[in-house]
Amino acid sequence: MNFLAYAMGGSGGGAGGQGGGLGAFLPLILMFAIFYFLLIRPQQKKAKQHKLLLAALKKGDRVISSGGLHGVVTGLTDDVVTMEIAPKVRVKVSRGSISGITGKGS
């Protein structure tokens, strides 16, 4: 009968199986910090640089659109950029679709 009492006894301490409140959330906090520094922060930084690039556009800049069109900016509005992709061939693209500047205007 003694073996039954030892089997039902469990752990010696009353609160030994329970962890602290902060100890349970520490892995989650650590995981969020890693995600912030590896994913969220660089993405915000890149978005800020793209916004500055779009604000600095001016006529004569050589640009690339996100679709791969290379051209020279001939006109600007708040939402639309007019690009000349060949002599006397102009296309209008959304300002947000400009992915980079390849050269400055003269």
pLDDT at 104: 74
Into which CATH architecture does domain 21-103 fall? Roll (2.30)
- Whether the predicted model's global pTM rises above the 0.75 cut: no
Q: Hey, what are 91's tokens? A: 């296309």
- The span from the CA of 106 to the CA of 18, in Å, is 71
Q: What is the mean pLDDT of each run of 10 residues along the chain (106 residues)?
A: 59 55 86 94 96 94 94 95 96 95 76
pLDDT at 62: 96
Residues in the chain: 106
pLDDT at 5: 57
pLDDT at 103: 79
